[in-house]
Amino acid sequence: MSKKNLTSLAAIADIVASAAVVISLVFVVLSLNQNTEALRSSNDNYLYELMDQHLSDVQLDPNFAQIILKSASSEALSPEEELRLEIWIFRQLNTWELAFSRYQDGLMDPTDWSEWSETFSANILQLLSKEKWNQSKVGYGKDFVKYVDAIYADE
Protein backbone atom coordinates (compact mmCIF):
# COMPACT_ATOMS: atom_id res chain seq x y z
CA MET A 1 0.00 0.00 0.00
CA SER A 2 1.33 3.39 -0.92
CA LYS A 3 2.01 6.10 1.60
CA LYS A 4 -0.63 8.31 -0.04
CA ASN A 5 -3.33 5.60 0.34
CA LEU A 6 -2.27 4.99 3.93
CA THR A 7 -2.52 8.71 4.72
CA SER A 8 -5.97 8.86 3.11
CA LEU A 9 -7.14 5.86 5.10
CA ALA A 10 -5.81 7.40 8.31
CA ALA A 11 -7.65 10.65 7.56
CA ILE A 12 -10.90 8.76 6.89
CA ALA A 13 -10.43 6.78 10.09
CA ASP A 14 -9.95 10.05 12.02
CA ILE A 15 -13.16 11.47 10.53
CA VAL A 16 -15.12 8.29 11.35
CA ALA A 17 -13.70 8.25 14.90
CA SER A 18 -14.60 11.93 15.39
CA ALA A 19 -18.12 11.32 14.14
CA ALA A 20 -18.47 8.34 16.48
CA VAL A 21 -17.36 10.48 19.44
CA VAL A 22 -19.88 13.21 18.54
CA ILE A 23 -22.68 10.65 18.18
CA SER A 24 -21.70 9.07 21.51
CA LEU A 25 -21.79 12.48 23.20
CA VAL A 26 -25.24 13.17 21.78
CA PHE A 27 -26.48 9.90 23.28
CA VAL A 28 -24.87 10.77 26.64
CA VAL A 29 -26.62 14.15 26.67
CA LEU A 30 -29.94 12.55 25.78
CA SER A 31 -29.49 9.97 28.55
CA LEU A 32 -28.61 12.67 31.08
CA ASN A 33 -31.70 14.67 30.12
CA GLN A 34 -33.90 11.59 30.51
CA ASN A 35 -32.29 10.79 33.85
CA THR A 36 -32.79 14.37 35.10
CA GLU A 37 -36.44 14.29 34.09
CA ALA A 38 -36.89 10.94 35.82
CA LEU A 39 -35.32 12.32 39.01
CA ARG A 40 -37.51 15.42 38.87
CA SER A 41 -40.59 13.29 38.39
CA SER A 42 -39.57 11.00 41.24
CA ASN A 43 -39.02 14.00 43.55
CA ASP A 44 -42.37 15.44 42.60
CA ASN A 45 -44.11 12.13 43.28
CA TYR A 46 -42.40 11.85 46.66
CA LEU A 47 -43.53 15.36 47.63
CA TYR A 48 -47.09 14.53 46.60
CA GLU A 49 -46.97 11.42 48.77
CA LEU A 50 -45.72 13.38 51.77
CA MET A 51 -48.36 16.06 51.31
CA ASP A 52 -51.03 13.41 50.92
CA GLN A 53 -49.96 11.97 54.28
CA HIS A 54 -50.24 15.42 55.89
CA LEU A 55 -53.71 15.92 54.43
CA SER A 56 -54.72 12.42 55.44
CA ASP A 57 -53.87 13.31 59.06
CA VAL A 58 -56.52 16.00 58.94
CA GLN A 59 -59.10 13.99 57.04
CA LEU A 60 -58.88 10.87 59.17
CA ASP A 61 -58.87 12.64 62.55
CA PRO A 62 -61.85 14.99 63.00
CA ASN A 63 -60.39 16.18 66.30
CA PHE A 64 -57.24 17.28 64.53
CA ALA A 65 -59.28 19.14 61.94
CA GLN A 66 -60.90 21.02 64.83
CA ILE A 67 -57.47 21.90 66.21
CA ILE A 68 -56.48 23.45 62.88
CA LEU A 69 -59.73 25.39 62.68
CA LYS A 70 -59.33 26.63 66.24
CA SER A 71 -55.79 27.76 65.58
CA ALA A 72 -56.72 29.47 62.31
CA SER A 73 -59.43 31.44 64.12
CA SER A 74 -57.01 32.32 66.97
CA GLU A 75 -58.88 30.31 69.57
CA ALA A 76 -56.89 29.07 72.55
CA LEU A 77 -55.51 25.55 72.26
CA SER A 78 -54.84 23.15 75.08
CA PRO A 79 -51.16 22.17 75.57
CA GLU A 80 -51.89 18.80 73.94
CA GLU A 81 -53.57 20.47 70.97
CA GLU A 82 -50.67 22.90 70.59
CA LEU A 83 -48.19 20.04 70.58
CA ARG A 84 -50.14 18.06 68.00
CA LEU A 85 -50.44 21.11 65.76
CA GLU A 86 -46.75 22.03 66.11
CA ILE A 87 -45.62 18.53 65.21
CA TRP A 88 -47.89 18.55 62.17
CA ILE A 89 -46.59 21.98 61.11
CA PHE A 90 -42.97 20.91 61.56
CA ARG A 91 -43.60 17.84 59.42
CA GLN A 92 -44.80 20.21 56.70
CA LEU A 93 -41.80 22.49 57.25
CA ASN A 94 -39.52 19.48 56.85
CA THR A 95 -41.24 18.64 53.58
CA TRP A 96 -40.88 22.27 52.46
CA GLU A 97 -37.17 22.19 53.25
CA LEU A 98 -36.82 18.94 51.32
CA ALA A 99 -38.46 20.55 48.29
CA PHE A 100 -36.22 23.61 48.72
CA SER A 101 -33.10 21.42 48.80
CA ARG A 102 -34.20 19.49 45.72
CA TYR A 103 -34.82 22.77 43.90
CA GLN A 104 -31.39 24.11 44.88
CA ASP A 105 -29.79 20.88 43.66
CA GLY A 106 -31.45 21.35 40.27
CA LEU A 107 -33.75 18.39 40.78
CA MET A 108 -36.96 20.41 40.61
CA ASP A 109 -38.22 22.53 37.75
CA PRO A 110 -38.37 26.25 38.72
CA THR A 111 -42.08 26.46 37.88
CA ASP A 112 -42.84 23.42 40.02
CA TRP A 113 -40.77 24.86 42.86
CA SER A 114 -42.64 28.14 42.71
CA GLU A 115 -46.00 26.37 42.93
CA TRP A 116 -44.85 24.08 45.77
CA SER A 117 -43.41 27.01 47.70
CA GLU A 118 -46.61 29.04 47.33
CA THR A 119 -48.60 26.10 48.67
CA PHE A 120 -46.29 25.62 51.63
CA SER A 121 -46.28 29.34 52.39
CA ALA A 122 -50.05 29.55 52.35
CA ASN A 123 -50.53 26.44 54.50
CA ILE A 124 -47.75 26.85 57.03
CA LEU A 125 -47.37 30.56 57.62
CA GLN A 126 -50.99 31.04 58.60
CA LEU A 127 -50.55 28.48 61.40
CA LEU A 128 -46.95 29.14 62.44
CA SER A 129 -46.32 32.52 64.02
CA LYS A 130 -43.12 34.36 63.26
CA GLU A 131 -42.14 33.96 66.92
CA LYS A 132 -42.56 30.17 66.78
CA TRP A 133 -40.58 30.08 63.55
CA ASN A 134 -37.78 32.13 65.14
CA GLN A 135 -37.66 29.70 68.07
CA SER A 136 -37.49 26.61 65.88
CA LYS A 137 -35.48 27.66 62.85
CA VAL A 138 -32.17 26.50 64.35
CA GLY A 139 -33.02 22.98 63.17
CA TYR A 140 -33.09 23.97 59.50
CA GLY A 141 -30.42 24.71 56.91
CA LYS A 142 -29.20 28.30 56.71
CA ASP A 143 -30.32 28.81 53.09
CA PHE A 144 -33.80 27.54 53.87
CA VAL A 145 -33.94 29.75 56.99
CA LYS A 146 -33.01 32.80 54.88
CA TYR A 147 -35.69 31.88 52.37
CA VAL A 148 -38.45 31.50 54.98
CA ASP A 149 -37.27 34.60 56.88
CA ALA A 150 -37.64 36.59 53.67
CA ILE A 151 -41.20 35.34 53.24
CA TYR A 152 -42.06 36.32 56.83
CA ALA A 153 -40.45 39.74 56.20
CA ASP A 154 -42.72 40.30 53.18
CA GLU A 155 -45.87 39.75 55.22
- Residue 18 is assigned to a structural domain of this protein: no
Contact criterion met (CB below 8 Å) for 108 and 102: yes
Specify the pTM.
0.71
- Residue 112 is assigned to a structural domain of this protein: yes
Measured CA to CA, the distance from residue 85 to residue 75 in angstroms comes to: 13
- Residue 85 is assigned to a structural domain of this protein: yes
Q: What is the mean pLDDT of residues 103-130?
A: 88
Q: Does residue 40 carry a pLDDT above 70?
A: no
- Residue 106 is assigned to a structural domain of this protein: yes
Q: What is the mean pLDDT of residues 13-39?
A: 76
Indicate the number of domains in the chain.
Answer: 1
pLDDT given for residue 1 in this prediction: 60
The domain of 103 spans: 39-154
Give me the chain's average pLDDT, please.
Answer: 84
pLDDT given for residue 76 in this prediction: 93
pLDDT given for residue 143 in this prediction: 95
